[in-house]
Amino acid sequence: MGVPLTRGGLWQEAYKAAMLERDQAKLLKKIEDAHAAIQRRIEELKLGSDHDGSSAERQAIADALHNLRTIQKLASRSSTEGSRKGGKAPGDGETS
């Protein structure tokens, strides 16, 4: 069994789940869940309820939010393109 998560580590697990999700149907929900967990952690850090928040964690949070926005845009774009091509996402075996 791994090391138990601290309260601050919960956002990292949600973020990791979103980044590793390959099922388009589940991806946006995982991104939303990760974003919510990060927002809760930001609030904890602001309220001072957890003094373990280091500058490294704050930078990791900023990086995670950026990465989540990026994959959300890509997922939305892929979904839109798939709709226009009869439900096929790019790379689904279509040839030009």
In a domain, 87, yes or no: no
Residue 84 is predicted with a pLDDT of 65
Residue 36 is predicted with a pLDDT of 97
| Domain count along the chain | 1
Among residues 95, 4, 2, 7, which one has the least CA distance to residue 51?
7
In a domain, 91, yes or no: no
Mean pLDDT by groups of 10 residues along the chain of 96 residues: 57 97 93 96 81 81 97 86 59 46
In a domain, 67, yes or no: yes
Residue 85 is predicted with a pLDDT of 63
Structure tokens at 30: 């995982």
In a domain, 48, yes or no: yes
Task: Using alpha carbons, list the distances in angstroms from residue 45 to 14, 39, 49, 62, 68.
Answer: 18, 10, 7, 13, 20
Residue 79 is predicted with a pLDDT of 75
In a domain, 94, yes or no: no
In a domain, 44, yes or no: yes
Residue 7 is predicted with a pLDDT of 62
In a domain, 2, yes or no: no
Residue 10 is predicted with a pLDDT of 93
What's the domain range around 50?
A: 8-82
